[in-house]
Amino acid sequence: MERHDDQRHLSDADLESHPKRSLACALLASLLCPILGVISIYFAVLSVRAHNQGYFAQSQTYYKRAIRWSLITFIFGLALVSTIAFIFFVRAVLHL
């Protein structure tokens, strides 16, 4: 009975940082900034491949890089979109 519980806990821990989550984050972040999004998608795909081949330590390394680049991409893209929106807003107000 204990062995079954240990296996369940291992699978729960594995699901917490499954590489498919990094792929989803990378794809969503690349909507805001496609140029940097390519980097996060690259690491996410490497993470999924390594996980499917059984290289779990390498998969975790790529997972962390993909999440980091997704965050960088999201923040940069959000700043870029906000700046562009602000410029258009100011131009619209000044032309009235």
Question: What was the pLDDT predicted at 14?
Answer: 53
Give a yes or no: residue 69 inside a domain: yes
How many structural domains does the chain have?
1
**47 is in which domain, residue-wise?**
18-94
Q: What is the pLDDT of residues 13-61, one digit of tens each?
A: 554 567 788 888 899 999 988 999 999 999 999 999 999 998 989 999 9
Question: What was the pLDDT predicted at 17?
Answer: 64
The per-residue DSSP string of 20-89 comes to HHHHHHHHHHTTT-HHHHHHHHHHHHHHHHHHHHT-HHHHHHHHHHHHHHHHHHHHHHHHHHHHHHHHHH
Give a yes or no: residue 12 inside a domain: no
Where is pLDDT greater, at 1 or 23? 23
Give a yes or no: residue 61 inside a domain: yes
Give a yes or no: residue 13 inside a domain: no
40 touches 62 (CB < 8 A): no
Per-residue pLDDT band at 71 (split at 50, 70, 90): very high
pTM: 0.74
Question: What was the pLDDT predicted at 2?
Answer: 46
- Decide if pLDDT at 4 tops 80: no
